[in-house]
Amino acid sequence: MSTDKPDYSRRLVVGGLTGGLAAMATGGARAQDTQAAAPSASAPPLVDPTTKYPKPPFPRQEQDWPGLASRMDPRPDHGEESYRGSGRLAGRRALITGGDSGIGRAAAIAYAREGADVAINYLPAEESDAREVADLIRAEGRKVVPIAGDIRDEGFCNTLVESTVRELGGLDILVNNAARQHAMSDISGLTTELLDWTFKTNLYALFWITKAALPHLKPGSAIINTTSVVAYDPPEGLVDYAVTKAGIMNFTKSMAKQLAPKGIRVNGVAPGPFWTPLQPSGGQPTEELPTFGSDTPMGRPGQPAELAGVYVLLASGEDSYATGQIYGAVGGRGGP
Backbone angles phi, psi at 261, to 5 degrees: -60, -20
Would the pLDDT of 284 be above 70? yes
Question: Residue 42 has what pLDDT?
Answer: 79
Mean pLDDT calculated for residue range 30-40: 49
Mean pLDDT calculated for residue range 281-291: 96
Q: Pseudo-torsion of CA 133, 86, 275, 202, nearest 10°? A: 70
Question: Residue 38 has what pLDDT?
Answer: 54
Using CB atoms within 10 A of its CB, is residue 317 exposed (0-12), middle (13-18) or buried (19+)?
A: exposed
**Domains of the chain with CATH codes:** 92-329 (3.40.50.720)
Report yes or no: 171 and 212 within 8 Å, Cβ to Cβ. Answer: no
Q: Which residues are catalytic?
A: 241
pTM higher than 0.95 for the full model? no
Question: Residue 203 has what pLDDT?
Answer: 98
Instruction: Give the torsion sign (CA, 260, 161, 163, 68).
Output: negative
- Nearest residue to 336 (alpha-carbon basis) of 229, 262, 242: 229
Distance CA 6, CA 4 (A): 7
Question: Residue 25 has what pLDDT?
Answer: 43
**Percentage of residues of the chain with pLDDT beyond 70:** 88
Task: Find the range with the poorest average confidence among 10-14, 158-162, 174-178.
Answer: 10-14
Query: Average pLDDT, whole number, for the chain?
Result: 91
Question: Residue 34 has what pLDDT?
Answer: 44
Question: Residue 137 has what pLDDT?
Answer: 98
Would the pLDDT of 231 be above 70? yes
Mean pLDDT calculated for residue range 142-150: 98
Question: Residue 41 has what pLDDT?
Answer: 61
Mean pLDDT calculated for residue range 232-248: 97
Distance CA 274, CA 100 (A): 15
Report yes or no: 326 and 252 within 8 Å, Cβ to Cβ. Answer: yes
Report pLDDT digits (tens) over 82-137.
999 999 999 999 999 999 999 999 999 999 999 999 999 999 999 999 999 999 99
